[in-house]
A and B are shown apart, each in its own frame.
Chain A
C-alpha cells in the first residue's frame, strides 16, 4: 500500500496515476493519514507534501519516526520548497522530489524500489 499526502487534489491525483495500481490511498492532510496508520494500515511507501493544511509535513514526519512500528516507513518528500543542504535522513526520508522539476519516471523509480 502507498500513501499520497498532498492538500492539492490535482497534484495528488497526478502522483497516484503515476504510481498506478489500486493500492494507493490519498490524503489531503496529515491527521487523516496518521489515523489510517493508527488503525494498523502501515504503508510500504509514503509520498508526502510538506506545506499542508493543518499540521505540516515535518510534524507528520516527527510523529512517524517517534513510534517503533512506523519509524522505518520510507518517505519521499514531494515539495516545491528548496531544502538546500538540510539533513533530512533522520526523518526516514529516502528521497526528495521537487514539484517544479520532477518527472513521472521519478515517482515510478521509488515505487519500484520500495513498494513492489
Chain B
C-alpha cells in the first residue's frame, strides 16, 4: 500500500513538471494578434486545468495523512474565486454562468483548498455537459445547520447507476458518465473524496433537462463579518 501511495505522488510530480513548462512557455510569448491569441490563451488554460487535476490527484493520496486543516471558510469568497477563474473557459465555450447567493452565505467548517476543488470540479463538469448557448447555475443557500452549494447543468440527465452511487454517499472510483473525452467521472470522484474528508454531504438531483450536484457543509460556529 505504501508503495502505491509513493508511486502516485511521484507520477503526479513527474506529470506536473512538463505541464508547468508548457504553461510557462505559453506565457513567455508576447500577446499575439487576435487570430493567434486564442491559441496562446488556450494553451495556458489547458495546462492550468491539467496541473490542477494532477494536484487534486496528489491531494487524494495525502488525505490519508490528514494534513488538511478544517477551519472557518467563507463560502461566498471561494465561489467567487472559482467562478472568476472559470469565467474565461465558460465564455470560450459559449456557456453562461449564473450565480445566486441566497441569504447571507455564512462561514462553513471546511478546508479552503479542498472546497475550492470541489466547486471547481462540479462547475467544470456543468460546463462540460451543458450545450452551446445554455447556462450552468451556481446557487448557494444557507440552511439552519448547513450551507448548501448547488451546481446545475442543462445537459443530459445523470445515468441512474451513477446517481445511485452518489446517493449511497460517495463515489468510490471514477465512473464514466459518457463515452467521450473528459467524461471519465474523475472530477466527480475528486469532489466526492474531498467532500467526504470535510464531513460534507454530496448529492445529485436528476432533472429532465440536466443534473444538479450539491454539497452541504456544516456551518461554522465562529462569528462572521459577512
A residues engaging B (CB < 8 A)? 8, 10-11, 14, 17-18, 51, 80, 99-100, 102-104
The reply to whether A104 and B28 form a contact with Cβ atoms under 8 Å apart is yes
The reply to whether A17 and B28 form a contact with Cβ atoms under 8 Å apart is yes
Chain A residues in 8 Å Cβ range of B27 = 103-104
Q: How many residues of B contact A (CB 8 A)?
A: 14
Q: Which of B24, B48, B55 has a CB less than 8 Å from the CB of A11?
A: B24
B residues engaging A (CB < 8 A)? 13, 16-17, 19-21, 23-25, 27-28, 48, 51, 55
Q: Which of B13, B16, B21, B51 has a CB less than 8 Å from the CB of A14?
A: B21
The reply to whether A8 and B55 form a contact with Cβ atoms under 8 Å apart is no
Chain B residues in 8 Å Cβ range of A8 = 17, 21
Chain A residues in 8 Å Cβ range of B25 = 10, 14
Given contacts A100-B51, A104-B27, 8 further A-B contacts (CB under 8 A): A10-B21, A11-B20, A17-B28, A80-B13, A99-B17, A99-B24, A100-B23, A100-B48
Chain B residues in 8 Å Cβ range of A100 = 16, 19-20, 23, 48, 51, 55
